[in-house]
Amino acid sequence: MKKPFIALLAVTFSMSASATDWSELIGKELVLYRWGKTQDRWFSEIHPTNSVGKDPVERIILSDSTHVKWKYTQQGSFARECSIEDSVLTFKEPIFGNEHLRILECDGEVMVTLGEDNLSRAFSIIPPKPEPSQLPTSAVNKKKFCNGKLDDLLPYITDITYSSRTTLGRNFLYYRQASEEDKAWLESTQEVFDDSKEQLKAYDINLFPHDKPVLADVYHKGMISVNAISVLTDMAILYPEFIKSIIHQESPDSFVVDMFDPEGKPIVVCVSNRFPVVEDDNGIFCIGEGGEYNWISILEKAILKWIQAYSRQFGVIGSYNAEMITPMLTGDGRSFCIQSGRLGGKDLNRVINTCLENGMMVNGVADNHIMSLMDNNTTIPSSIGLRVISPGAAAKFFDKSVVKSNKERIKEEKEVKIKLKKG
């Protein structure tokens, strides 16, 4: 009998294996982790079977034992009458063909449900106010989250990625374990594209042309990886010494990047100085001033190797967001999101400034475009959503002067002239 696909999701607070009553979830948000994709938990392979949006569920909120709010992206939100009988949630009107939603199991942080459409789903469960251990942290925290300065805004956060199973967070719960062959491949200079028909060329690489990462080092011709590139850029500008500390050039054609495996154990990923040759000699990877490869090009290749080894997916890193990119490099996957429309500009500015001052990383999205929120003096409209990320291994590199001297930093980087090849 073919086993059903399981949606890859996780719960953000501890539930015992016996907690299988829907009434225990009243007042909490049930957040679908990865919309549009399902995962086979038996073989740990991701199958994009729902990519056209057949199941657009984002959040369920049980108001009480008789009413549920069902919220999703495409068509707004709606309320339904319901009833609870132990592990079964029954809707008065079917939702996406389901009249009943049954809890199959509660194992640690994962609650798996089954609908009448035979699609198993698991939900991230957000309590009304998260525990301090679930929130991003930093070396400068003396008590609570941001020293208690944002306690009044905690009820507005969503999508906590904390997991007690792995320090990298719930996004990494079901990645496969690397075999000995995989580990040897990660530590070699072999590339993900070595077996393809791509023509390769070795390049001279100057990791840090300006001595430290600057915005002039990051030029990306396309948009497909813009999310991941924005995350790496923000991390590098906020924590330049951290980025310099994790990339090591062993020889002219060999580079090692310090990373973490899905269980949070330190590993090294090695890449070469070879890149695919494409039209006009402008590669698919980021380039810097003068069209030359540098630190961000090496990071891109190392992340691609990581993805290939632990998920067997080959391709660009564009679908990997802040909460998935940073833990690979920092070892800490605690983060949370504040969705657009939940807070006004004044409170969003307050969150950004306070989190940066307390040693965290912030990545923002507005109107489906990635933004840098490092210039915290910018007026932040309420349409922006943002994610606050724990710096993990980067925490000791945090310097409050990064925030205080933002104007000086921006002025300096405007003076860097970007000379790119034509085409």
Digit-coded pLDDT (tens) for 40-57: 333 333 333 333 333 445
pLDDT value, residue 66: 95
Average the pLDDT over 14-43 and give the result: 59
* Helix H or strand E segment including 245: helix 240-246
Residue 59, φ and ψ in degrees, nearest 5: -145, 145
Structure letter (DSSP) for residue 299: H
Two tokens, residue 199: 């023509």
Domain edges within the chain: 1-128, 180-320
pLDDT value, residue 280: 58
| d(C-alpha 356, C-alpha 374), whole Å | 8
pLDDT value, residue 85: 94
Q: 57-61, 155-159, 351-355, 373-377 — which one is most confidently predicted on average?
A: 351-355
Q: Is 231 exposed, middle or buried (0-12, 13-18, 19+ CB in 10 A)?
A: buried
Percent helix, percent strand, percent coil in the chain, to nearest 5: 25, 25, 45
The answer, yes or no, to whether residue 359 has pLDDT greater than 60, is yes
Burial code (b: 16+ CB inside 10 Å, e: under 16) for 352-378 equals bbbbbbbbbbbbbbbeeebbbbbebee
| d(C-alpha 288, C-alpha 310), whole Å | 29
pLDDT value, residue 248: 96
| d(C-alpha 93, C-alpha 100), whole Å | 10
* Helix H or strand E segment including 389: strand 384-389
| d(C-alpha 227, C-alpha 220), whole Å | 11
pLDDT value, residue 340: 75
Confidence of residue 133 (pLDDT cuts 50, 70, 90): confident
The answer, yes or no, to whether residue 10 has pLDDT greater than 70, is no
Write the CA distances from 109 to 16, 164, 211, 254, 421, integer angstroms. 9, 8, 43, 40, 50
Q: 125-129, 143-147, 249-253 — which one is most confidently predicted on average?
A: 249-253
Residue 370, φ and ψ in degrees, nearest 5: -75, 140
Count of CB atoms situated within 10 Å of the CB of 386: 24
The three-point CA angle 92-96-99 to 5° equals 30
Digit-coded pLDDT (tens) for 325-348: 999 999 999 999 887 777 888 888
CATH fold for domain 1-128: Lipocalin (2.40.128)
Rg, C-alpha atoms of the chain: 22
Average the pLDDT over 212-230 and give the result: 77
Length of the chain: 423
| d(C-alpha 57, C-alpha 95), whole Å | 10
Q: Is 213 exposed, middle or buried (0-12, 13-18, 19+ CB in 10 A)?
A: buried
Write the CA distances from 201 to 80, 187, 236, integer angstroms. 59, 21, 27
The answer, yes or no, to whether residue 421 has pLDDT greater than 60, is no
Digit-coded pLDDT (tens) for 284-294: 788 888 889 99
Query: By C-alpha distance, which of 72, 74, 60 is closest to 27?
Result: 60
Q: Which residue did the predictor score with more confidence, 361 or 402?
A: 361
CB 292 within 8 A of CB 209: yes
Count CA within 13 A, CB hemisphere, residue 47: 13
